[in-house]
Amino acid sequence: MRPASSRARGVDDHRVRLRRRTVLAVAATLPLAGAGLTSCGAEGEGGAAPDLSAELPRSEPGPVQDAGELVTPFTARMLGAIDREEVNAVCAPLSAQIALTMIGMGAGGATRTQMEEVLGGQMEHLAATANTLSQLLVAVGDEEREQGDEESPEPARASLVNGTWLQEGFEVQQSFLEDLATWFGSGVFEADFTDDAEREAAREEINGWVAGSTDDLIEELIPEDTLTAGTRLVLVNALHLQAAWQQPLTVEGGRFTTADGEERSCEMLHGSTGSWYEDEMCRATSLDTYGGDLALALVQPTGGLAEVLSTWAEMSAGGGSGLAALLGALEASEVTTQLSVPAFGIDWEASLKDLLEGLGMTDAFSGAADFSGVTGTTDLVIDEVLQKAVITVDENGMEAAAATAVMVAETSVQVAEQELVLDSPFLVLAYERTTLAPLVVGWIGDPTQTR
């Protein structure tokens, strides 16, 4: 772990590396035509090239310092909208935001307006953010891999990839194909959703692509009977990250008290961090990873989980920055903190349809949907949005993954040393450090309930 005295210098070094990584990412970008559509996870199982793709290169990444600005508000709103009855939860608002932006590029009228209001920005800006983060994350750990130091921890890895499946013979607008290629590095695979056997084969192919993109952490994203004969389009985003701590944490037996006041015996991880944040609602620190590209924020509510989540959501809806302020303060901090946190491994899966409708995205799921930018007609509607996520934290590091599938159907068919002991419910937020973009977030109410 980076000591407090060197954290600020490490952040400056990290930003210098970022400029280099951005250049490397641009240089690695490949044309998205035919067999060239191999970058950014755009291939199917077995490395097959997409059936349809626009003959356009992927856009260069935008300014990395702005890339987290559209992610954090939606993260706060989605995290605040998840069912509070869940004892443990982990989700990836970024993954949902990107998958919905993919179909949102073809939305029009009130449908587009509602989606932009819920997702937190204009579609073009959301797409540019997705493109920048995808190319930023693929370069995570590159410098450490180049050094090849066998005595150091394994270099961090991260990926953010997209895939699209379309009913064969179903015509889409050329502009939609161009948006998929330019901003999401995605071509289109054709499938026959109208035939029972072919539909099941397509489901297995999509699930296989997700499993391969998440190191097999996310399996069966799309359950049986979710796709129907009316399915015309499936858009998928997959996220995976793995990173070791700067130094391994120590492990000792400990106790954790749930929100109901029940005590649990569990393994507690102990170590020193170089950050601290405190306000009237919570206390927090963050664990840096080897290489400095990723970090894990650990947030302990002082008045209850619901208060923190509700306040963050309300602030984001009103243009405030509660969550962003916390992450920014952790990055600027140089306070040594003695951390105790339980080891945990949790997963979560849910339909996001009701959640999104509750946030105001209603037309996209109804007969009022306007996705004329996809087909030139208004006969498409979002049928379902599914997400799975997982995160594991132990003495050596963290690994997390998430995937989101959007299914579209045809309607006609301080300076002093601090201490943070996380022995009661707490929040976790894995984030990219330069952009402060939250990647995978959740809360732990009982670390003994493992996946």
Q: Kindly give the interhelix angle for 71-81 and 305-317, rounded to the nearest 10 degrees.
A: 140
Residue 267 lies in a domain: yes
The answer to whether position 163 is within a domain reads yes
- Look at residue 55 in the predicted model and tell me its pLDDT: 82
Based on the fold, state whether residues 187 and 324 are members of the same structural domain.
no
pLDDT for residue 413: 54
Indicate which CATH number applies to the domain containing 237.
3.30.497.10
140 and 168, same domain (yes or no): yes
373-392 pLDDT tens trace:
998 876 899 999 999 999 99
Do 38 and 101 lie in a common domain?
yes
Say what percent of the chain tops pLDDT 90.
Answer: 77
Residues 157-167 have a mean pLDDT of: 97
Q: Tell me, what amino acid is at 269?
A: L
Q: What is the mean pLDDT of residues 164-172?
A: 94
Domain membership flag for residue 334 = yes
| One domain, residues 161 and 249 | no
The reported pLDDT for the residue numbered 261 is 92
pLDDT grade for 303, boundaries at 50, 70 and 90: confident
AA identity, residue 108: G
Could you tell me if 225 and 302 lie in one domain?
no
User: What integer pLDDT is reported at residue 148 of this predicted model?
Assistant: 83
Confirm whether 449 is domain-assigned: no
Tokens for 251? 């492990």
Which pLDDT belongs to residue 204? 98
Q: What is the CATH number of the domain that holds 283?
A: 2.30.39.10
Q: Tell me, what amino acid is at 143?
A: E
| Greater model confidence, 28 or 290 | 290
Q: Average pLDDT, stretch 417-442?
A: 92
- Do 327 and 429 lie in one domain? The reply is yes
Instruction: Tell whether 252 is covered by a domain.
Output: yes
- Write out pLDDT tens, residues 133-159: 999 999 999 999 999 888 899 999 999
Mean pLDDT of the chain: 88
By CB atoms closer than 10 A (0-12, 13-18, 19+), residue 151 is exposed
User: In the β-sheet with 263-273, what is the strand arrangement from edge to edge?
Assistant: 250-257, 263-273, 337-342, 418-421
- Over the stretch 15-59, which tens digit does the pLDDT of each residue have? 434 433 443 434 333 333 332 233 334 555 556 788 888 888 899
Do 283 and 315 fall into the same domain? yes
> Are both 389 and 374 inside the same structural domain?
yes
Domain count, the chain: 2
* Rounded distance between C-alpha atoms, residue 409 and residue 374, angstroms: 12
Angle at alpha carbon of residue 240, lines to 114 and 191, rounded to 5°: 65
Of 142-151, 246-255, 292-301, 352-361, minimum mean pLDDT range = 142-151
| Alpha-carbon gap, residue 395 to 393, rounded angstroms | 7
pLDDT computed for residue 12 by the predictor: 46
183 shares a domain with 108? yes
Q: What's this model's pTM, rounded to 2 decimal places? A: 0.88
- Residues 166 and 264 occupy one common structural domain: no
Task: Name the 3-class secondary structure at 428.
Answer: strand
* Residue 222: pLDDT over 90: yes
Q: Is 292 helix (H, G, I), strand (E, B) or coil?
A: coil
Q: Evaluate whether residue 28 is within a structural domain.
A: yes
- Of the candidate ranges 105-114, 207-216, 231-240, 373-382, the one whose mean pLDDT is the lowest: 373-382
Q: Given this model, what pLDDT does residue 36 score?
A: 29
pLDDT, position 416: 63
155-164, 187-196, 296-305, 370-379: which range is least confident on average?
370-379
How far is 388 from 220, CA to CA, in rounded Å?
A: 9
Same domain, 302 and 316: yes
d(CA 400, CA 379): 37
pLDDT over 50 at 276, yes or no: yes
Express each pLDDT in 334-369 by its tens digit: 999 999 999 999 999 999 999 999 999 999 999 999
For residues 219 and 351, state if they share a domain.
yes
> Is residue 219 situated within a structural domain?
yes
Structural domain range at position 362: 7-53+61-67+93-144+155-243+345-410
Residue 84 lies in a domain: no
Q: DSSP H helical segments within 43-90, as ranges?
A: 71-81
